[in-house]
Amino acid sequence: MALSDFLEQLDQLASSAEKAFQEAGDASALDEVRVNFLGAKNGQLKSVQKEMGAVGKEDRPTAGKKFNECKTRIEVAFQAAKDRLGDPAAAKSSDPGFDMTLPGHEFHLGRLHPITQTIEELKDIMGRLGFSVADGPEIEDERHNFEALNIPREHPARDPLDNFYLGTAQKAQLGHREENPLLLRSQTSTVQIRVMESTPPPIRIISLGRVYRPDTADATHYPMFHQMEGLLIDRQVTMADLKSVLRLFARSYLGADVNIRFRPSFFPFTEPSVEADFSWNDGWIEFGGAGMVDPNVLRAVGYDPEEVTGFAFGLGVERLCMRRHGITDIREFYKNDVRFLEQF
Ligand code: PHE
């Protein structure tokens, strides 16, 4: 084919495309024009491109340049028509049968997990009783989880079967090189030690967080749960103070008709020790342990047991939340089933 014919053909194509794009009256007409000229398979521009092979070799560069100009002209015309009419692709997808009077999609507000909500409320109640919030790590050493809490090496509570000790590989990952074993804390009492180590008395703190024990999950056990630890250290603190703080707390969280009872118990870090039970009409439920801080613990953190005394308690957060809302299975909290979670 002669070069001049090819160039002429390109000019005509560009002009007729420009005209067609200008005349397209709506989005679907525009789309037809687009397919006709720019269609990747059978568009006119494509067919002309194929004919370029018929142009003599020495004329190819001129032909190619002209082809590109023509292509740009058509694309510009298409863009102008699109700006004028809206994008045919978008127009196609909009449903012509859309009914403006239908109710819209409902948006669901996210919410905090019931345990998080409980923790916030417990902080609030204890805050009003003058307790501030302290925090500690979930990966602990034996000093904070056991030794300073008066739990000596031979004590059965340190049994590897009752604790999540970290393996060598996990410790290496943490950059922990010493021989000192690490474990996931089995109680928030660790924070008592951390606070007393770094602060002189008086102390009035709570600490809320996760603890870990290798229990098989059932309706009342889960290998991870939350505790609220409380610690008050001052001059002349007595069991009566402990009982009134726990009673005030229980009444604020569970209602004015709740009763509180202490049963004698044993914890290595308190002496005397009690189990704290709360009750309504339906009988007593144990919510945790408590007691007067053992003098050995006070000595371990450098306090003088002749000068100060104190009480400590550790309550199960899940248990409180379950009693409050009538939840019968602790596993519900950790299934991530929105039908459960949405109720809070
Ligand atoms: N740490 C005890 C537990 O995990 C609870 C407790 C805390 C008891 C403080 C006495 C004082 O069961």
Do residues 339 and 272 touch, judged by C-beta distance below 8 A? no
Inside any domain, residue 193: yes
pLDDT attached to residue 167: 84
The answer, yes or no, to whether any atom of ligand 1 lies below 6 A from the CB of 145, is no
Q: Compute, in angstroms, the gap from residue 269 CA to the centroid of ligand 1.
A: 8
Range of the domain at 26: 3-93
Cβ of 314 closer than 6 Å to ligand 1, yes or no, is: yes
Q: Which atom of ligand 1 is nearest to the CA of 273?
A: 10
- Domain-ending residue, one of 63, 93, 123: 93
Instruction: Tell which one of 203, 232, 267, 317 to mutate to probe ligand 1, the residue whose CB is within 8 A of the most ligand atoms.
Output: 267
Q: Judge whether 106 lies within some domain.
A: no
For ligand 1, whether the C-beta of 189 sits within 6 Å is yes
Q: Is residue 99 part of a domain?
A: no
Q: Is residue 288 in contact with ligand 1, taking CB distance under 6 Å?
A: yes
Q: How much distance in Å is there from the Cα of 328 to the middle of ligand 1?
A: 23
If we measure between CA atoms, which residue out of 192, 153, 152 comes closest to residue 303?
A: 192
End-to-end Cα separation, the chain, in angstroms:
79
On whether both 322 and 286 belong to a single domain, the answer is: yes
Element (H, E) at 310: strand 309-316
Q: Is residue 109 part of a domain?
A: no
* pLDDT tens series, the chain, 344 aa: 788 999 999 999 999 999 999 999 888 889 999 999 999 888 999 998 888 888 888 998 999 999 999 999 999 999 999 888 876 565 555 566 778 888 888 888 889 999 999 999 999 999 999 999 999 999 999 999 999 999 999 999 999 899 999 987 777 777 776 678 999 999 999 999 999 999 999 999 999 999 999 999 999 999 999 999 999 999 999 999 999 999 999 999 999 999 999 999 999 999 999 999 998 777 898 999 999 999 999 999 999 999 999 999 999 999 999 999 999 999 999 999 999 999 99
Say how many domains are in the chain.
2
* Residues 247 and 329 occupy one common structural domain: yes
pLDDT of residue 219: 96
**Is the CB of 267 within 6 Å of ligand 1?**
yes
Q: Distance from the CA of 64 to the center of ligand 1, in angstroms?
A: 85
**What residue's CA is closest to ligand 1, atom 10?**
290
Judge if 287 and 144 occupy the same domain.
yes
CA angle centred on 147, ends 161 and 185, rounded to 5°: 50
DSSP 193-261: HHHHHHSPSPEEEEEEEEEE--PPP-SS--SEEEEEEEEEEETT--HHHHHHHHHHHHHHHH-TT-EEE
